[in-house]
Structure 1
Amino acid sequence: MKFPRSFSPSLRVALLATAVVAMSGCSTIGGWFSSKDSSKKAAKPTELAAITPTMNVAELWNAKVGGGEGHLGLRQGPVVDSGRVYAAAVKGGVYALDLQTGKAVWHHETKVQVSGGPGVGEGLVVVGGLEGEVIALDAATGAEKWTAKVGNEVIAAPTVGQGRVFVRSVDGRVTAFDSATGERRWFWNHDLPTLTARGNDGVTLGPGVLFVGNDDGTVTMLAVNDGHPLWDLPIAQPEGRNELERMADVDGTPVLEGGTLFATSMKKTTMAIDAPNGRPMWSAEHGGPGRPAVGSDRVVVTEADGGVFALDKSSGGALWQQAGLLRRDVTAPAVVGDVAVVGDLDGYVHWLRLSDGAFAARTRAGGDAILAAPVVSDGIVLVQNIDGRLTAFRAQ
């Protein structure tokens, strides 16, 4: 059971609580919905405090690439390859734009409600649809190369490489297609828990292997050629008195750097893993539903409540916390230079110093919520909001 991340935090809790009540047979949960509940005031998003910028951030361009994500809880963001930005939206199709100028290179119109992607590689741009459609386009021209179908909606960006297109659907299945023909090569299933958060991210490609974050709190390594599982490792234990407390989803794409894989769980756990053999290197008690961002000496994660943490890359020890964005539905982070960048529910983009987590700058990318993690390429930070507004920034 999944609920849109675009719902407010309090509404998501209410819906999840209702689900737990229905499953457990309980008639009420005392205090949660009382008008006298003092937690209502605490549930409001933290008001942004004034800051003194220590860096200049310029908006380079913005472009409209569609819309329709408002109530679907999609973390739809762009991808960059060879100086082009590829972006898509539920209503709007797929766009290719010049990274430096934002000028449209091509636009592929489609009746498919594009909900996952784009993913790019091997001359292809691949997107998924709300009804399980998979569309592969020529990256140079936008012409359709092939189409395929999976059994459930696709809200994660497909991953392209090593002669395959890997599509993750919301039912926990990963399907591998031949990148040249679209022929299905294999699929792999992973059972879902009774209750999960809405959202999953793409899979991570390594040399001959694939890493998948699962809704039960585990990460699995699969063989690229046939989907055979090579190891399975719990990042967080799904412990608790009910299904809500046991939610441990690894919703963010794991990050592979050299031989180390970094994965984070909404159970407030982040782990560094020796990727070839699945051996844990360290585990930290901070983590969240989005992908981690890896810098030169630290890993940055966003927790579900909006707290942003930096962890020591070699040990997992907490280096700093930024608590000024609590309950603002903060995105997963990205790292550019010596800052980490996150977006929030009001379209603000926050630039945090990697050294200490202090606010270095604040910009805005329209007034709508940003759900997808910012994307960094060639020193440019790209942010896409749920209204399909794509904005490019550069720090001066």
Structure 2
Amino acid sequence: MLRRTLIIAALLASTTGCTTLKGWFGDDKNKASDPAELVEIASPIAVNKAWSRKLGDENARLGLRQRPAIEGDRLYVSNDEGRVLAISATNGDVLWDSEVAPTRKEGSRLFFWRRKSIDGGLSGGPGVGNGMVVAGGRNGEVVALDAETGAERWRAKVTSEVIAAPLVTPDRIIVRSNDGRTFGLDPADGTRKWVFDRGIPALSVRGNGAPVSDGQLAYLGYDDGTVVALRINDGLVAWTQLVAESEGRNDLDRMADVDGELALGFSELFATSFAGQTMAISTQNGRPLWNRDTGGYSGLALLGDRVVLSDTAGTVWALDRNTGSALWRQEALARRWLTTPAIHGNYLVVGDLDGYVHWLRSDDGVIVGRNRAGKAPIRGTPQVTPTGTLIVLDAEGRLSAYPSPAQ
């Protein structure tokens, strides 16, 4: 089956009421589809960039949503040049830089792909845990490195491109490939212990959400609008829940991808779909607790009594965690291709297509701060370190850090 993937730039034009892509490229006849102009903030909070570092990567053409992995005071990033780096969250210094060149076998000789070749590159972003950093590539290769030194521990191969960060647990390394399969690898040597194959629709959004885990189960969102809970040890299905129906007259209308971050609570899981549905699900049995007719291609986050997300139109929502009812919505960032919100102190933070980072008050959604990290789009969800520093990675590999704003 021929599988097609679309990047968000094209998809959003078709989901916000416009019938062509012209408005996204400056056509004066279709200003209604242009990204909303940014309005000056009357009394902005002070948001200052602590440091910034260009990693020399250019992932803009890939349409990926890579993000850094954080453990303690270290950031771990991978890029399309085949490199994995450990970086100090305090000052941006590079602690180690490992070149991980994907390999192929041709006859009896071993060849190395160059970093910029179409076949090479680390496309999935890293996962970190238990002293390891694990990253996947566009050729399906998975590489595990020592988190302290960057030395290679092992490498393995899955059946397709890896565009989601692997989940690192004590018992298994869980890796998604872009052909619908999920693999459970042995942390010691990368050998395959199980594989789960769900299949994929003919057309989907370019992206896969990273698995999340409560220690017993791994939860994954799929391109057909479902969330699946797998047992970590053996990969058996604990439950499956449909978040959004795949309905419509054509492949584009039927897209229902659950591609953004899943948010895991104490006994519930929250998921959102490109088809415009958000659902709270019981982790015990997979039954829906509530469903809301709003959703998006990015994921969601939890903040106290609420769930926060950005929908496909660029509206930021806060939903009641227990009922799904809307607490507030912010529409001033319409059509700006917003990231999943991050929680930064008492604020929500989203990145946009022009490299701007926006701070919203969590209690009412008012935009109170803004800073431009760079000129490239921000696709990956901003991350927050244990000490409260916000980390933003844009599509051209610029890493920026922001301390917590004054309350």
- In the other structure, the counterpart of 2:164 is 156
Q: Residue 65 of structure 1 contacts residue 92 of structure 1 at CA under 8 Å; is this kept in 2?
A: no
- In the other structure, the counterpart of 1:382 is 391
TM-score, length basis structure 1: 0.91
Pair 1:189-2:197 in alignment: yes
Pair 1:91-2:81 in alignment: yes
- In the other structure, the counterpart of 2:345 is 337
| Displacement after TM superposition at 1:65 (Å) | 2.3
Q: Residue 10 of structure 2 contacts residue 21 of structure 2 at CA under 8 Å; is this kept in 1?
A: no
| Displacement after TM superposition at 1:4 (Å) | 2.7
Write the distance in 1 (CA, Å) between the matches of 2:97 and 2:65.
21
| 1:18-37 correspondence runs (5 A) | 32=20
Unaligned 5+ runs, structure 1? 15-29
Q: Residue 130 of structure 1 contacts residue 154 of structure 1 at CA under 8 Å; is this kept in 2?
A: yes
Cα deviation, 1:328-386, whole Å, max 9, x if unaligned, reads 11111111221110000110000011111110100111111100011012211110001
Pair 1:72-2:62 in alignment: yes
SS in 2 for 1:145: strand
Which amino acid in structure 2 is aligned with residue 347 of structure 1?
G
| Displacement after TM superposition at 1:274 (Å) | 1.1
Q: Residue 6 of structure 1 contacts residue 72 of structure 1 at CA under 8 Å; is this kept in 2?
A: no
Q: Residue 281 of structure 2 contacts residue 290 of structure 2 at CA under 8 Å; is this kept in 1?
A: yes
| Displacement after TM superposition at 1:34 (Å) | 9.2
Write the distance in 1 (CA, Å) between the matches of 2:359 and 2:367.
6
**Aligned to 2:53, which of 58, 63, 76?**
63
% identity of equivalent residues: 44
Write the distance in 1 (CA, Å) between the matches of 2:334 and 2:223.
24
CA 1:356–1:146 in 2, change beyond 3 Å: closer, same or farther?
same
| Displacement after TM superposition at 1:246 (Å) | 1.4
CA 1:272–1:91 in 2, change beyond 3 Å: closer, same or farther?
same
Judge which range, 129-138 or 237-246, deviates more. 237-246
**Aligned to 2:125, which of 96, 117, 122?**
117
CA 1:163–1:65 in 2, change beyond 3 Å: closer, same or farther?
farther
- In the other structure, the counterpart of 1:2 is 5
Which amino acid in structure 2 is aligned with residue 44 of structure 1?
D
- In the other structure, the counterpart of 1:45 is 35
TM-score, length basis structure 2: 0.89
Q: Residue 171 of structure 2 contacts residue 233 of structure 2 at CA under 8 Å; is this kept in 1?
A: no
- In the other structure, the counterpart of 1:371 is 379
SS in 2 for 1:67: coil
Judge which range, 50-59 or 147-156, deviates more. 50-59
CA 1:31–1:220 in 2, change beyond 3 Å: closer, same or farther?
closer
**Aligned to 2:208, which of 196, 200, 211?**
200
**Aligned to 1:268, which of 269, 276, 293?**
276
Write the distance in 2 (CA, Å) between the matches of 1:109 and 1:368.
24
| 1:104-253 correspondence runs (5 A) | 104-112=94-102, 113-253=121-261
Root mean square deviation of aligned Cα: 2.0
Which amino acid in structure 2 is aligned with residue 323 of structure 1?
E
Judge which range, 248-257 or 366-375, deviates more. 248-257
| Displacement after TM superposition at 1:32 (Å) | 4.4
Write the distance in 2 (CA, Å) between the matches of 1:160 and 1:31.
42
Q: Residue 12 of structure 2 contacts residue 312 of structure 2 at CA under 8 Å; is this kept in 1?
A: no
Judge which range, 147-156 or 108-117, deviates more. 108-117
Write the distance in 1 (CA, Å) between the matches of 2:164 and 2:196.
16
- In the other structure, the counterpart of 2:312 is 304
Pair 1:319-2:319 in alignment: no
SS in 2 for 1:242: coil
Write the distance in 2 (CA, Å) between the matches of 1:114 and 1:239.
34
| Displacement after TM superposition at 1:162 (Å) | 2.7
Q: Residue 274 of structure 2 contacts residue 295 of structure 2 at CA under 8 Å; is this kept in 1?
A: yes
Write the distance in 2 (CA, Å) between the matches of 1:99 and 1:294.
23
Write the distance in 1 (CA, Å) between the matches of 2:80 and 2:22.
37
| Displacement after TM superposition at 1:104 (Å) | 1.1
| Displacement after TM superposition at 1:207 (Å) | 2.4
Write the distance in 2 (CA, Å) between the matches of 1:62 and 1:7.
30
Write the distance in 2 (CA, Å) between the matches of 1:53 and 1:387.
31
Write the distance in 2 (CA, Å) between the matches of 1:135 and 1:250.
26
Cα deviation, 1:9-41, whole Å, max 9, x if unaligned, reads 44xx49xxxxxxxxxxxxxxx964899x99722
Q: Residue 6 of structure 2 contacts residue 203 of structure 2 at CA under 8 Å; is this kept in 1?
A: no
SS in 1 for 2:205: coil
